[in-house]
Every structure is written in structure tokens, then in C-alpha cells.
Amino acid sequence: MMTKKIKIDPGHGGKDPGAVGNGLQEKDLVLTISKLMKEYLEDNYTGHEVQLTRSTDVFHELSKRAKIANDYDADVFISNHVNAGKGTGYESYVYTNASAALKALQNVLNDEVLATARKYGLGAHGEDRKRANYQVLRETKMPAILTELCYIDSKDNKLLKNDDFLKDMAHAYARGVAKFLGLLKAKVVTSASAKRYYTVAKGDTVSAIAREYDTTIAKIKDWNNLDSKYTIQIGQNCV
């Protein structure tokens, strides 16, 4: 099984707060959303690894964000943003000359996101499937999408102050990315002694499983000493 690589880009950061309004800063909101995405992907899917372009309040030039994704050889890139301009609603952008893969990414992501958004009374801002010559879309080598969750300086700000909304929308983003990549769902054990449940599939390597668990290869090889919060089962017909 080929490990898929996901690069999540929380927009702005550091000296660049992005959009501001109603006591909120875009850079903080998108970092929260991106971390929730990463967590959800790691807890619910197998066969992938996921990284952020930033995990703290630091600033990267747009060219560096694209380079980080290209150097990582990511299979998909998603740049998360929050809008301003006193509008309302969600939208997303892919590069102007959209390939079939870009259209597929945008379609599956928007379907997931808008289905969740509607539960909170939020729809699309005009045409939700937009095209743009943005630098992070133009310079990345993999299918890339830029999202605008909703507006920080309008009535949407009430949603941006709702932790449940941020979490649910982040999870919708993650499901869209997972569907685009064809990731397999991980089985989750809810007992106190096992927080995650991983089924070994044909082609999995010890190093891949170690990355999935964020642990060491040595611990994975020594099954008896593996952290008790993880449970591994051997899938059928794995060999």
C-alpha cells in the first residue's frame, strides 16, 4: 500500500494576522482548524502521513509554503483561510487551469464541507468552486486547493467563535481529503485501554505503522512493549 502524503497549510501566521474582526484573527483560527484536521485524519484513516506547513505562530512566505509541500512530495495540498469583506459563506479555489484531478479534489471537498456547513445555517458564498491564480496554487506540483471557511467580519463571526463548528468543519475538510486520496478507514476501539485500533494491511511496513502511531520502529517490532493506548490486529489476507 502506497503511503499518501498530505500537506496542510494554515494561512498567514506570525507578523501576518490575516483577516481580523470581532476579536478574532485569521492566523489563529486556521491553525486550530488545521490541527483538528491532522488529528482527525490520524485517528480515523490509515495509509497516509500528514504534516502542517506551520504548527506554531510563525510566518512563511507564500513561495516557502509551496516549496515545503513540493519538497515533501505531497499527494495533496490544502491551504486553509478565513475570509473578510462583510460577506457570508464558504468558498474554495483551485488553480485557473484546473486539471481533472483538481476538479475532483474541489468537488469532493466542497460536497463534504457544505453538507456540514448547512447544519449550522451556512452556505456557499456565490459560486463555491472558484478558480484563481494564487501563488500557493500555481507553484505547488500536486493537486492543491485553497479554502475560505467563512467571513470574520460579518454575522459569520458567531460561527467562528463556536468550537463545535470549527471542529465539525475541520473534520469535513479531512473527510474530503481522505475521499479524494481513497484512504481506508481505521477501526477505532473506544475502551479506556485502547484509544486507536490499526488493522495491518497487505504492503504495510513496520516504518509506516510506526509513523501511523507516532512511535518508534523498535517499539512496533517489540509488540509486547507497545504503548497500551494502541491496539493492532492482523487483517485478513494480509500476506
Please list the active-site residues.
148
Q: Hey, how many other C-beta atoms are within 10 angstroms of the C-beta on 236?
A: 8
Q: Which residue has the cell 499527494?
A: 75
Please tell me the distance from the alpha carbon of residue 57 to that of residue 79, in angstroms, as a whole number: 16
Quote the distance between the C-alpha of residue 22 and its chain's center.
Answer: 26
Grid cell digits, residue 230: 494502541
